[in-house]
Structure 1
Amino acid sequence: MWREASGRWPAWGWALLPAAGALLTASTAPLGAWFLQLPALAVLAWAVGRLAPRRAALAGWLFGLGWLVSSLWWLYISMHDFGGLAPPLAGAAVLLLAAFLSLYLAAAMAAVARWRTGRPVLDVLLYTGAWLLAELARASWFTGFPWAAPGYAHTDGLLAPLAPWVGVYGLTAAAALWGGLLGQGRALWRSSGGRGLVLLAVALPLAAALAPSDFTRPTGQISVSLLQPDVPQDIKFDPNRLAGNMLALREQVLAAPAQLVLTPESVLAVPQSDLDPVYWQSLIAPFTRGDRAVLMGTFLGDNDRGYVNSMLGVSAATVRAGHDYSYGKRHLLPFGEFIPPGFHWFVEMMHIPLADQARGQSQKPFEVGGQRVRPLICYEDLFGEDFADSLVGPQSPTVLANASNLAWFGRWMMQDQHLQFSRMRAMEFQRPLVRSTNTGATAAIDHHGEVTARLPAWTPGRLDVVVEGREGLTPYAAWLARWHLLPLWLAGALCALPALLTRRRRSKPPTQP
């Protein structure tokens, strides 16, 4: 039974919490040891079940700090190596971001300690709901920053079949449920209803694995050339290197043989309005006739309207229509692409080019080769809820295409993390997803989230693949498109409700006869 222990919480207990948080990171890419997530979540459940609310908040915060610092440390590289911040300042910035994001989990664990009942079944459900609500808040509030959500660990493993039913945050809740069960130990098994909850937790992924697994249907195939220029970030915007980079890009584009050529984001480091028209025409000439097309990463706009990180599509159809296809990035990265109020001084210290961008507009998919291609630019593929509504209707995309530039963040970890996020989107919506990146991970992912081809990172190259388009809706896509994340918010609240009602009944004074 969970109960508050008397006496002082041992020092080793506090030290164990950030270590358990780091273990949560090890469950996701690049290590991908998903099973390590369960003991990590169990340690937090065990600790919070023995602490008063204030100390439980500290426990959640320390766990979150260990988890998020170990997941986001590569931000140091962008701020120090490319932004020019002094090492102490860059390190402090990473620590402060992780400390702020950990406040969601701290508040959730304080609520668990405040409302726990001493009944293992109710308390496990309370812990599950608190985790789910904390992650939904982190994903939604202040524009959202859901990097390294625990559910991403389950692109593989026993819980993976749940992805097209409940998505990444539902998987986070399922993992928290298993961790809470493990944290309760024998007390749960001996309690009323405890065995039933254990069996239910095991039965859910088993039922999903045995249920029909294909919710979408094929729409034909398309060949795609995914470019990886491998331009180092420190020379990408260097005026003295632009000409050479542009010529190398043109050679790579013109040599690509596929029906669709996909480049990384901002592969043209010069805004479209400043680009030499002769160069641009030579770049797109092969795609203005026939049945081939290109999606090119560039910046659209001007100083007055603002610049939009965009994918510009050119095909014979767009030439006949008299205008190019364009998709502008809508969900911008804080500090890298838009500056939160009061932080201009911080961004100015790092001299990031085009750091305060305008938001783009939603567009219908880009049609080529009988397929409808939905662009996503870098960070946008963390937010499936942002584009789930585009999956409904006759113009729904049959292929998802991510264009990224991860050269800002060094050689370790970040590329594999982002690839895992893309795998989860493919699993949730059962759409193939292709990725073209500057330095990696350039890859093709099928509609079940399996990586079918990948270029080695940090080498220039081209990945030629054949992709099978898909249409139709998974259960997750259907309810996400209609109700956004509201069903998950309600599920989190319903998990916590039995414990809250039980505590409330206990707190009422007895009725006088």
Structure 2
Amino acid sequence: MRLAVRLAASAAAGVLAVCGFAPFGVFALPVLALAALLWLSDTLTARAAALNGFVFGMGFFLAGVSWVNVSLSQFGGMPLPLSLLATALFCAYLAVFPAAVLAVCRALRPGAVMTPLLFAALWVLSEWLRGTLFSGFPWLASGYAHATPSPLAGYVPLFGVHGAGFVAALMAGVMAQLVRGRIRLHPGLLSLAVLLVVGGALGAARWTEATGRTLSVSLLQGNIEQSMKWLPERLPDSMQAYLELARAWPADLVVLPETAIPLPYGDIDPAWLDAVRATGRDVLMGAVTLGEVEGRARYFNSALALGRDDALYSKSHLVPFGEFTPPLFAWTLKLLSIPMSDFGRGADAQPPLMLAGEKVAVNICYEDVFGEELIAGAREAGLLINLSNTAWFGDSWAQPQHLQIAQIRALELGRPMLRATNTGMTAAIQPDGRVVAALPPFTRAALRVELQSYRGLTPFMRWGNVPVLLLALVVITVGAVQRKRG
């Protein structure tokens, strides 16, 4: 097969793999796409295989995270040609990771049985690195396609999203070897069946248990358009919208989304705060707070319980360019017009907030993409709450993709996950990853749910990503030793 045909097929496989994630959710497609990628790269040199992996990655990320351009151009004020170039360069950086996987896999030239294991190890290690380097971007890691109801969801409470990704890549490797005729049919099919059956059996296990204490929660979705949110003349409308929602949907805990009111907390009318506070036993609100870092006043992206200064969480994992400017990139501020884009960083270790009689681990927007960082807070809490404002990405796939990520976090941590967002997706997720209720996006409404807090630890909460990373490193080491021995 000519290289140009292989590259075109790999790009198409990358685009197709995106349909395995929300909002489509055909979870078998990423496995089949990876199998196709490995099959297409099987007889190539390491350099040609790297090019094949790069083209796959470009198709995958350009299709899957094209919403980055929306935030840069439509809401960030960057000229469209520059935002398109920036998005393409960003996707090119992300595509380097699958390129490296294919290059190393071909360079080591593993045997028929070792190839699926080595491919899975390299793939999951590359996704972990992608989610770690330069503050990390783990979005669309392959394991996210296997939220409930995928049969591989059972692996998530044990080994996290990367554990499910390892199994998915392993299955893809086996399929590619079966098509090549390098693995006998019956053992190959049996191994695939075992991985699916074990995943299904693990999915029936319950690693945490309900405490028996029921809590009513109202999640408010103000649906304030991003282009209007920061206009001073629209501030009264935003405040009135959230006050009316809170009064119409009282509960033990009322939750407003990230930066619900676009003012520093100290500048918000106290009478409005008192009125909202009266609608619930406790009220949690996303707000901009003023603090101090090394003797310098800084603003923080925070969540706080109204009326209690000691109940405060400040975002720790900030978004590059949106919430802080990386070193050497100050010049980008001339191209972007993002309000309050220079936040201070909250402490790494922050205790859960005591809200309506329950310990609640709070995370803000993008933070729930980093599962291992949420473990410490979740161990002490019975409930997880995410406050988001995904209006930055318009009517794109970012919202359903983010909801799917929250499903994985609920599975990993064995806790209910509640999401209060400005424009969507406001939802309630059970510890088994099921979305039990959700508001339609881009509607002004409230979601009231009754649920119980949970206790206990999942294996992932005990070990984090260590087991799957150790397994990957062992497999890669074995593959390198075998290659050295010829």
TM-score (norm 2): 0.94
- 1:328 and 1:124 map into 2 onto residues whose CA distance is 43
Residue identity matched to 1:374: A
Alignment partner, residue 231 of structure 1: 224
Alignment partner, residue 389 of structure 1: 376
- 1:503 and 1:122 map into 2 onto residues whose CA distance is 11
- 1:468 and 1:127 map into 2 onto residues whose CA distance is 41
Equivalences for 1:339-418 in 2 at 5 Å?
339-361=325-347, 362-392=349-379, 396-418=380-402
Alignment partner, residue 501 of structure 1: 481
- Residues 1:295 and 2:284 aligned together: yes
Residue 147 of structure 1: which of 117, 139, 161 is its match?
139
Equivalences for 1:189-200 in 2 at 5 Å?
190=183, 196=187, 199-200=190-191
1:186–1:22 Cα change, 3 Å: closer
CA contact (8 A) 1:391 1:473 kept: no
1:190–1:355 Cα change, 3 Å: closer
CA contact (8 A) 1:308 1:357 kept: yes
Residue identity matched to 1:204: L
- 2:129 and 2:266 map into 1 onto residues whose CA distance is 39
Alignment partner, residue 306 of structure 2: 314
CA contact (8 A) 1:273 1:302 kept: no
- Residues 1:207 and 2:191 aligned together: no
CA contact (8 A) 2:235 2:261 kept: no
3-state SS of 1:50 partner: coil
- 1:9 and 1:489 map into 2 onto residues whose CA distance is 36
CA contact (8 A) 2:113 2:183 kept: no
- 1:210 and 1:77 map into 2 onto residues whose CA distance is 41
Residue 248 of structure 1: which of 234, 241, 246 is its match?
241
Tell me by how many angstroms 1:373 deviates.
1.2
Q: CA RMSD in A?
A: 1.9
Tell me by how many angstroms 1:205 deviates.
3.8
Percent identical pairs in the alignment equals 38
Residue 10 of structure 2: which of 11, 17, 26 is its match?
17
Alignment partner, residue 403 of structure 2: 419
- Residues 1:116 and 2:109 aligned together: yes
Residue identity matched to 2:411: M
3-state SS of 1:241 partner: helix
- Residues 1:97 and 2:97 aligned together: no
Count of matched residue positions in the alignment of Structure 1 and Structure 2? 479
- 2:173 and 2:438 map into 1 onto residues whose CA distance is 37
- Residues 1:49 and 2:36 aligned together: no
Tell me by how many angstroms 1:185 deviates.
2.0
Any unmatched runs of 5+ in structure 2?
A: none
Deviations 1:380-419 (A, max 9, x none): 1111100212333xxx111111110011111121110000
Residue identity matched to 1:132: V
Residue 84 of structure 1: which of 73, 77, 88 is its match?
77
Tell me by how many angstroms 1:241 deviates.
1.1
1:251–1:500 Cα change, 3 Å: same
Alignment partner, residue 256 of structure 2: 263
3-state SS of 2:232 partner: coil
Deviations 1:5-48 (A, max 9, x none): xxx84311111111111111111001111111122001111122
1:373–1:60 Cα change, 3 Å: same
- 2:182 and 2:91 map into 1 onto residues whose CA distance is 36
CA contact (8 A) 2:157 2:458 kept: yes
CA contact (8 A) 1:161 1:209 kept: yes
Alignment partner, residue 511 of structure 1: none
Residue 487 of structure 1: which of 467, 474, 477 is its match?
467
State which drifts further: 182-191 or 19-28. Answer: 182-191
CA contact (8 A) 1:313 1:326 kept: yes
CA contact (8 A) 1:271 1:300 kept: yes
Equivalences for 1:32-47 in 2 at 5 Å?
32-47=25-40
- 1:47 and 1:205 map into 2 onto residues whose CA distance is 25
CA contact (8 A) 2:273 2:306 kept: no
1:108–1:10 Cα change, 3 Å: closer
Residue identity matched to 1:73: S
3-state SS of 2:342 partner: coil
Alignment partner, residue 470 of structure 1: 454
CA contact (8 A) 1:265 1:296 kept: yes
Residue 338 of structure 1: which of 298, 320, 324 is its match?
324
- 2:235 and 2:100 map into 1 onto residues whose CA distance is 48
Alignment partner, residue 4 of structure 1: none
3-state SS of 1:350 partner: coil
Any unmatched runs of 5+ in structure 1?
A: 1-7, 507-513
CA contact (8 A) 1:116 1:126 kept: no
- 2:290 and 2:196 map into 1 onto residues whose CA distance is 48
3-state SS of 2:447 partner: strand
Tell me by how many angstroms 1:90 deviates.
1.1
Deviations 1:44-81 (A, max 9, x none): 11122211111111111111111111111111111111
Residue identity matched to 2:458: T
